[in-house]
Every structure is written in C-alpha cells, then in structure tokens.
Amino acid sequence: MLEISTKLKENLIKANQELKQKYSAKSNLDKQSLRVKIKTELGGIIKLDQMSEDKLESWTDNRAIVGVDGSINKLGSNYPHYLYLLQALAKSTAKEDITATELFCPLVSNSKEEINNFIFEQYQQGNNSISKQHAANKIKISKLAELELEVAIQAVKEWQPKLIMLDGSLIRYRIEAEEKWKELREVAISQEVLLVGVIEEIGTQEVGERIDEELAGFYDRELLFGVLDLGEMLTLEFKRGLKTAFLRPSRDPQVIGLDILEEQHSEFQNMAKLVYTLTPEDSRGIPIWLDVVDNEVRISDQMMKSLIDTYLDSDLKKRLFASKRDERIY
C-alpha cells in the first residue's frame, strides 16, 4: 500500500479541527437548554403513547395499513452506456402486493426520446444548458417517484386502506413527479386515506434557524440528536401544504421525519403513534412494515445478474455495458 501522503493527513487534521470547533457551539448547549429553547420558540414537545392492539383495531376500523417503496438497479457505468431497472411496491397488511416496473436506458429509442423531450422543455423554459447526461439523471429520478406514486394511487383505489406510509418526504414526490403527486393527493383526500412520508435521512435546517441565530447553520438531525426522548415528537408549522414533525420512535438517538397533508392534520398524532407503535424499540428507528417493503422491493445483485444473463445477449452486455473498473484483478 502506498504511504498516505502528508497532504492528505494535513487535510484530515484541518477538517477535524474545523468540525470540532463548529460543533462545540452545540455542545455548549446541553440537552435541557436545547429543550427549553425548542419549547419556547417552537411550541413544545409532545410525548406519544404507543397504540394498544384494541386501539389500533378501533382506529383502523379493519382497514389495511400500506407501505410503499421503490428500488433502482444499474448495469453499466457512464452515460449513455448504462441500463436501469426500476421497481416500486405497495404492500398491504391484508391484500396482495401491487408492483410497477420500468426500464430506462439512454441507448434505447423510447428513453432517447424522453431525454430529447426533457431538453426541449427546458429550452422552452429558458434553460439551454442542460446536457443529455443531466437530463437522463433527472428522468431516472422522476421515473422512480412516478412508479411509487402509481402503486400508491392503485392501492388507494383498490384497497381504500386506512393509511399509506411512503418511504421519504412527501415534498420529494411533489418536486420529482408533480402531476402524479397531485393525483395521489386528490384521490387520497377524496377516499379518506391518510398519507404519511417517513424520512430516514433528514436534510432540513428548520429548527436551528427558528430557535437561535447562532444555530442557524446546523442541520436538524445534528441539533436533535439525543435531544428527544423515546416516543417524543416535535411538530413544525405548515409549509407549502404539508406539516412536518421529528419523532424519536426507538432507542436510537437519531430522529426521523414525518410529513403529512395539511388537510389531514387532525389525525397527525394518531399517524405518529402508529409509526411509533410499528417501530421496534431497539431498531434504527424505521417502522418495521417499511423495512419489510424495502427488503421485498429490492432487486438483489444476484437477481439483477440473473435477469441480465437471461434476457440480454452476452455480446451486447460486453460491448455496451461492461465497465473496465469491474475487470480489475485487485
């Protein structure tokens, strides 16, 4: 192994010192001080109870709970020589699964057309600097969101469940697949089906900005780490038609995020209680039903290899999608 360069060591030391200095500002505020600031500026922290089996049955009224998630697998490396397999799953506690799948490959005619159309639409909006590679990435992201929304819409129409848990922020769907999101939102409200987005990786900076200007540069996951106790929830005001909360549903000190529709705010505490109830105490903090969906929707590496080997000619695989990186002998 090559000796680690002096420059790299210096960079690591410098980065470590900078981060220590930055986060010492938070460490000067102990847990109780942060809680006081949060209660003063944001209106308080709610302590939730888990739902008993009787309470859960009464609240759901024998209607199903549904989890929705998507997965994406890639063959190949750089644009345009890659192929994506996308899949979404809606899994009910009482019904058969609903799935939706799609293939996206910049070398295939329909994907080429989508890329060209995307670039043309951007040009009409005054953005004439979109590359085909950038367009393809945006399309791929939107397609996955659309598939997830598609199975959620179908679940609402066919099952009329009590609640659908989606993996991620509801804002993501509105940004990445606006028309499909509007359709899900409308059909869910009309059918009285609750929607909640469960956010594992929180990337917002709402709390620090509101409680102390000196903490404005901190992310919510950093500030709230270990601050909420098990079963506690901090809610924020409505923003762009959605209400957001941070919840600690397990012993893991990291919080998760919850998004709901403004129109369904009266059920927010019950939705949060459900998420808390379905999350194992010693887990990483994600409801077990979403973990089940995540596990089942994923196309494993072995399954991906089997599909490719079965349905794609070996000479095409080698010519179009083989990566030199994969041929390394070390």
pLDDT digits (tens, 9 = 90+) for 270-281: 999 999 999 999
Q: What is the pLDDT of residue 28?
A: 59
**What is the spatial distance between Cα 315 and Cα 180, in angstroms, rounded to a whole number?**
38
**Is the overall model pTM greater than 0.85, yes or no?**
yes
Mean local confidence (pLDDT), 232-237: 90
Mean local confidence (pLDDT), 251-277: 96
Mean local confidence (pLDDT), 192-218: 89
Q: Does the structure show a pLDDT above 90 at 247?
A: yes
Q: Does the structure show a pLDDT above 90 at 94?
A: no
Cβ-based neighbours of 12, under 8 Å, separated by 6 or more: none
Tokens standing for residue 8? 């790299």
Q: What is the pLDDT of residue 84?
A: 95
Q: What is the pLDDT of residue 267?
A: 96
Percent of the chain with pLDDT over 70: 95
Tokens standing for residue 31? 């847990």
Contact 41, 211 (CB under 8 A): yes
CA distances from residue 176 to 40, 124, 139 in whole angstroms, order as listed: 35, 19, 9
Q: Does the structure show a pLDDT above 70 at 291?
A: yes
The residue ranking higher by pLDDT, 288 or 8, is 288
Mean local confidence (pLDDT), 204-232: 88
**What is the spatial distance between Cα 206 and Cα 20, in angstroms, rounded to a whole number?**
22
CA distances from residue 157 to 94, 116, 187, 189, 248 in whole angstroms, order as listed: 15, 34, 8, 12, 32
pLDDT band at 1 (very low <50, low <70, confident <90, very high): very low
Query: How do beta strands 45-47 and 98-104 pair?
Result: unpaired
pLDDT tens per residue across span 24-60? 756 556 788 888 888 888 877 999 999 999 999 999 9
Q: Does the structure show a pLDDT above 70 at 3?
A: no
Beta partners for residue 232, in sequence order: 47
- Chain mean pLDDT for the chain: 90
Q: What is the pLDDT of residue 25?
A: 59
Q: Does the structure show a pLDDT above 70 at 328?
A: no
Q: Does the structure show a pLDDT above 60 at 324?
A: no
Q: Does the structure show a pLDDT above 80 at 111?
A: yes
**What is the spatial distance between Cα 124 and Cα 162, in angstroms, rounded to a whole number?**
42
Task: Spell out the domain ranges in the chain.
Answer: 31-63+162-286
Most confident of 234-243, 270-279, 308-317: 270-279
Contact 246, 256 (CB under 8 A): yes
Positive/negative CA dihedral, 310, 316, 320, 322: positive
Give the closest residue to 89 by CA, choosing from 67, 110, 60. Answer: 67
Q: Residue 182 carries which side chain, given as an amino acid letter?
A: K
Cβ-based neighbours of 164, under 8 Å, separated by 6 or more: 66, 67, 68, 90, 152, 155, 156, 188, 193, 194, 195, 196
Mean local confidence (pLDDT), 127-156: 95
